[in-house]
Structure formats: C-alpha cells, structure tokens
Amino acid sequence: VSDIFNHAIRSVSKDGRVRTIAGGPDRKGHQDGPAETARFASPHGVGTSADGRIAVAEAEGHTLRLLTPDAGTPGGYVVSTAAGTPGKSGGSDGPARQALFNSPHAALWGADGSLYTPDIGNATIRRVRNGVVETVTGSASDKMVYPMDIAWMPDGRMIIADAGANLLRTWRRGEPLATLRVQGTLATPHGVASGPDGTVYVADMKSQRVLAIDTTGRIATIAGVEGEAGGDGSHLNRPAAVLVHAGWLWIADLDNHRICAVAIER
C-alpha cells in the first residue's frame, strides 16, 4: 500500500496486520538507501514484481522508486530511484535518470521486466526498459485526459482508468489506443484491476462504488452505494484503488483511510 499522506510504503495482511516497510510521516523527502532511513514524497501507487521488488510511483517527487529485497539491510529492502529527477517535472524520454515525469500515479510490471506508469500530467503511459524511458501511448492521435491506473488483462492488453474522460481505455503494443465498451457510464474511474476470467474491477470514485465489468460490458456493483459516501460496512468514501489477489478484491477506501477486502466468487 502507498500511504500518501504518511509518505510511506506499508503492507497489510488479510488478518489486519499492518507493517511500515519504508518512509514515514516524519520523513517526507527524497532519500535512497536502507528502507529504515529512506524518504518519499506522496507515493501514489505500488507494483510488485515476481522476484519481490516493489516499484513505487512517487507523484510529488516525479520519480519511480524501487524497493529491492535485501535481508542484510536494515528494514529488509534497499531503496533506489529507478527513473526521473527528484522534484523536477517534465515529459522528456531518454536515459532513465535523465528522463522527466509529471506526477506518475501507478506502477505496473511487464512480463519482460519493463516498468509502466500512467503519467498524469503528461496524459501518457510511460515505460522504463533497460534503463531507458519511452512514451508508449498518449500521443496526439491517442489522447487521454487523466490516466490514473493501469493493469494487465488476461489477453495481454493493458486496461487504463482514464479518470478525466470517465472512460476505460485498452492498449497493446503495436495497436492504437481503444476504448472499452461498457453498458452504462462511469464517474471518475480512479483505480482498475483485472480478474483471471477477464472481469474488470473499477474504483469508481465519484459514484462511491467499486464496479465489476464482465466481458460483455455489463456493470455490477461489488461494494458501496451509488452516490452515497459513508464509513460503515455498506458504504465507501472515494474508493481510489483496487487489487485482485488470491480470490479477494482489495479496495483502498481513500477518505475512510482504510483497506477493505471482498471475496470474489469463483
């Protein structure tokens, strides 16, 4: 979990245990090194690779950070800057430490070890591969408004939550940006995830719901009550992110400052 206002990276287990992995409310800034002394500035999204590395989209710092497991290091991770220049925004591609981002918002690993992020301020999707940053979609012909989150679909397409356009986009290398057809409307889709059966889950922030969209485009409400914010077991308050893992749908309930979990029927 990226804990934005605490400037920290934390883990939450199914039994409710919370552990701070790196950063903290008294350590806002930019500092690489051992996890216990590392500093972050408003991390907005995380993505874990198969080998246990944690990529962090640091929106305020305009960088992508990396937590690499190291049992011999205090805190168990070493923090490094994977791409971007701390505190400097822009939109240029090129060598990773010279490239510029403008509020990267999420982190997603590719099967080949590439790292993707939606770059909100540039309305693009950027990729870091072999030490080089490239803009993969979001050109003049493939325009988005506020791409907030990305996830892989089972067929290899990337699903993109375009919050500013109230649309879900799809992209695959070599193909133009497309719009996923849904039977209804979305209201600020802020987070997105995909299940193994192709169901797309959306943190639909303005409608106060988490939605499931099946392969025909049909929309169902998984959590929350449309148009009603709240903090009880039936309501959400600005759901911001979703994650599918091991038969559960995890929800970042932003303004309730909580993590919720819902069992997904198989």
Contact 111, 71 (CB under 8 A): no
SS3 (DSSP) at 254: helix
154: which DSSP letter?
A: T
pLDDT for 266 equals: 56
Please tell me the distance from the alpha carbon of residue 208 to that of residue 239, in angstroms, as a whole number. 6
Q: Print pLDDT tens along the chain (266 aa).
A: 999 999 999 999 988 999 999 999 999 999 999 999 999 999 999 999 999 999 999 999 999 999 999 999 888 999 999 999 999 999 999 999 999 999 999 999 999 999 999 999 999 999 999 999 999 999 777 899 999 999 999 999 999 999 999 999 999 999 999 999 999 999 999 999 999 999 999 999 999 999 999 999 999 999 999 999 999 989 999 999 999 998 999 999 999 999 999 998 65
Please tell me the distance from the alpha carbon of residue 245 to that of residue 144, in angstroms, as a whole number. 28
SS3 (DSSP) at 5: helix
pLDDT for 197 equals: 93
SS3 (DSSP) at 184: coil
Which CA distances in Å does 252 have to 177, 190, 239, 255? 27, 11, 6, 9
pLDDT for 165 equals: 97
For 187-250, the DSSP string reads: S-EEEEEE-TTS-EEEEEGGGTEEEEE-TT--EEEEEEBTTBB-SSSS-BSSEEEEEEETTEEE
